[in-house]
Amino acid sequence: MSAQRKVLVVDDDPVVGKSFNRVLSDKGYIVITAENGYDALMKLQEEKYDLVFTDIKMPGMNGLEVAERVKQNQPWTPVVIVTGYGTRANEERAKAVGVSEFLRKPLSPEMIEQTTVRALHMTGAPSAAPQAAPPKEEAAAILQAQPAAAKKPNVLKNMLLFLSAPFVGLVYAILLPFVGIGMLAWVAGQAVMKQPKAAAAMRAVVFGAKLAAAPFIGLAYIVLFPFAGLAMLAWMGGKALVTRRVEE
Contacts 24+ apart (CB under 8 A), 26-31: 27/113, 27/116, 28/1, 28/4, 29/4, 29/5, 29/116, 30/4, 30/5, 30/6, 31/7
- My answer on whether 138 and 184 are in the same domain is no
- My answer on whether 11 and 116 are in the same domain is yes
At residue 30, does pLDDT exceed 60? yes
Q: Is residue 136 part of a domain?
A: yes
pTM of the model: 0.49
Report pLDDT for 241: 60
Q: Is residue 1 part of a domain?
A: no
Q: Which residues contact 183 (CB under 8 A, 6 or more apart)?
A: none
Report pLDDT for 22: 93
Q: What is the mean pLDDT of residues 25-33?
A: 92
* Domain termination residue (choose one: 146, 176, 204): 146
- My answer on whether 38 and 124 are in the same domain is yes
- My answer on whether 167 and 57 are in the same domain is no
At residue 41, does pLDDT exceed 80? yes
Of 140 and 79, which is predicted with more confidence?
79
Q: Is residue 79 part of a domain?
A: yes
Q: Is residue 41 part of a domain?
A: yes
- My answer on whether 200 and 138 are in the same domain is no
At residue 208, does pLDDT exceed 50? yes
Over residues 178-196, the pLDDT tens digits come to 777 877 776 666 766 666 6
- My answer on whether 35 and 133 are in the same domain is yes
- My answer on whether 142 and 229 are in the same domain is no
Q: What domain range includes position 194?
A: 155-247
- My answer on whether 76 and 194 are in the same domain is no
- My answer on whether 35 and 104 are in the same domain is yes
Q: Is residue 14 part of a domain?
A: yes
* Domain termination residue (choose one: 114, 146, 178): 146
- My answer on whether 78 and 160 are in the same domain is no
CATH label of the domain that carries residue 100 = 3.40.50.2300
- My answer on whether 136 and 204 are in the same domain is no
* Domain termination residue (choose one: 103, 124, 146): 146
Q: Which stretches of 54-154 are DSSP H helices? A: 63-73, 88-97, 109-123, 136-145, 148-151
- My answer on whether 159 and 239 are in the same domain is yes
When divided into structural domains, the chain yields a total of: 2
